[in-house]
Amino acid sequence: MIYLDYAATTPISDNALHVYSEVSKTMFGNSNSLHDVGTSAKNLLEHCCAELATMINGQEKGIYFTTGGTESNVLSIQTLINSYNGTGNHLITTEMEHSSLSNYFYYLEKKEGYRVTYLSPNANGEINLSELANAITNKTILASIQHANSEIGVVQPIEQIGKLLYERGVLFHSDCVQTFGKISVDAKRYYLDSLSISSHKIYGPKGVGAIYLNPSVKCNTTDSNGLLPGTANLPGIASFITAAQDAHNNMDNEHARLLKLRKHFLNLVNNQQLKMEIIGTDGPQIPHIIGMILDNIQGDYAMLEFNRAGIAVSTGSACSLEHKQPTKAILAVGKSETDAKQFIRLSLGQRTTISDLEKVVEVCLEIINDY
C-alpha cells in the first residue's frame, strides 16, 4: 500500500518504539513516588520537559504532557480562560480550526454564553491581520489561531498575529499539531501563551501530546501536579520526545525533500493537465499536505478508487470524517459544498517517493477517464 495519509497519523519510528519498550521495562516507576525507582522516573520526566522546551524555545516549567492534540487544545483554552481575571466574554478563532477546537468553541458559545468571532481566511487560507485587529474589543479574552491547517496545509503569519495580540493584551493559543517537527515552532518569537502538539503526527506513539503554557499565565489550578494530575505515561512521553528529537534534527533535510516531492507532483499535474484544483499553492505552505478538488468527481468515490489501486488518501481530516462534516477549510476559503465533497487530501511522509506520486497521477488519470 502507498500510504499518503501522514497528516492523519504516522507509523511509530524504530527509535521511538525501542525507547517505549525500554522505558516500560526499566523506568516503570511512578514519577510521583518518593523512592529511588520513582525518582529515576521523575528525573526522566523532567529531562523530557527540558528537551521539549528547548525544541520550542520555551521554559521547562511550561511543559505539560497530555493524551494528544485534542486534549492539549481543549485544556489550553480552558486554562487560558480560567487564568483571565477581567470582565471580558469574547473569544476569537478561525473558521478552519481542527474539530477539537471548533467543537469546544461552539460549546463555549452555546452553553457557556461566550461571544465568539470566527475569522474567515482569504482564498489561500490566510487570516487577514487587519480583520483580526478589528475583531478585538475590550472584552476579548483570547484568540486561538492554528499554525498550519490539516486539510490544505496553509501556514498562518503566526509571528505577526502573536505580536498584534500581545500588543493588544489578548491571550494567544495556537494549534501546532501539524507544524511541530516539520517547521520551526517558537513559543517566544510567536508570543504564544499556549500551544499544542501531538506525538502520533511525528512518528511517536499514539495517545501522547503536550501543551506549552507560558509560565507567566496564572494557572488557577488547586492541584500541585498542575493541569493533569495522575501517573505520567512515561514510556509514551519518552518515546514521543525521541521521535520529536529525530524530527527536529532532520527537519531541514526532510522539509527540503518533501518540498521537492510536492513540486514534482504539481508539475506532473500541470503537465498531464489533470482536471483538479490544488488549494493554497500561492501562499505559505507546509509541503507535506496537498489538498485538491477533483473536477466533478466525488471525493469519497476517488478515495475508494485510490484504495482499490493500493493508495491510501483522505477526504479530509480524520476527525471531521467521523461526523461526516464537509471539510471546513474548503468552505472557509470560499469554495462551495459541492467543491468540498470533491475534496481529497494527499499527505506525504518519510516513506513517500517520487514513484508513489507518479502512481497517484496515473490513478488520477484512470479515475477521471473512467468516471
Ligand X SMILES: Cc1ncc(COP(=O)(O)O)c(C=O)c1O
Query: Which residues of this protein are in contact with ligand X, per CB under 6 A?
Result: 68-70, 73, 98, 100, 146, 150, 175, 177-178, 198, 200, 209, 317-319
Q: How far is the CB of 64 from ligand X (least distance, A)?
A: 14
Extract the C-alpha cell encoding 307: 484504495
Q: How far is the CB of 244 from ligand X (least distance, A)?
A: 14
| Alpha-carbon gap, residue 168 to 151, rounded angstroms | 30
60 by DSSP, 3-state: which?
helix
Instruction: Kindly tell me which of 193 and 305 has the beta carbon lying closer to ligand X.
Output: 193
Extract the C-alpha cell encoding 151: 486539510
Q: Which residue matches cell numbers 520537559? A: 49
Instruction: Kindly tell me which of 322 and 370 has the beta carbon lying closer to ligand X.
Output: 322
Among 48, 49, 319, 364, the active-site one is 319
Instruction: Kindly tell me which of 182 and 248 has the beta carbon lying closer to ligand X.
Output: 182
| Alpha-carbon gap, residue 214 to 128, rounded angstroms | 25
Q: How far is the CB of 243 from ligand X (least distance, A)?
A: 13
Residue number of the CB closest to ligand X reads: 69
Q: How far is the CB of 219 from ligand X (least distance, A)?
A: 22
Q: How many CB atoms lie within 10 A of CB 353?
A: 12
| Alpha-carbon gap, residue 250 to 182, rounded angstroms | 9
End-to-end CA distance of the chain: 23
Q: Which residue matches cell numbers 506525538? A: 199
Q: How far is the CB of 322 from ligand X (least distance, A)?
A: 11
Instruction: Kindly tell me which of 91 and 101 has the beta carbon lying closer to ligand X.
Output: 101
| Alpha-carbon gap, residue 70 to 102, rounded angstroms | 11
Instruction: Kindly tell me which of 59 and 352 has the beta carbon lying closer to ligand X.
Output: 352
- Dihedral angle sign, alpha carbons of residues 338, 328, 335, 149: negative
Give all strands (DSSP E) within the chain, no chain letters.
2-3, 63-66, 90-94, 115-119, 140-144, 171-175, 194-198, 209-213, 276-278, 289-294, 311-312, 343-347
Instruction: Kindly tell me which of 100 and 214 has the beta carbon lying closer to ligand X.
Output: 100
Q: How far is the CB of 297 from ligand X (least distance, A)?
A: 24
The reply to whether 319 belongs to the active site is: yes
| Alpha-carbon gap, residue 292 to 343, rounded angstroms | 6
| Alpha-carbon gap, residue 163 to 188, rounded angstroms | 10
- Residues known to be catalytic: 319
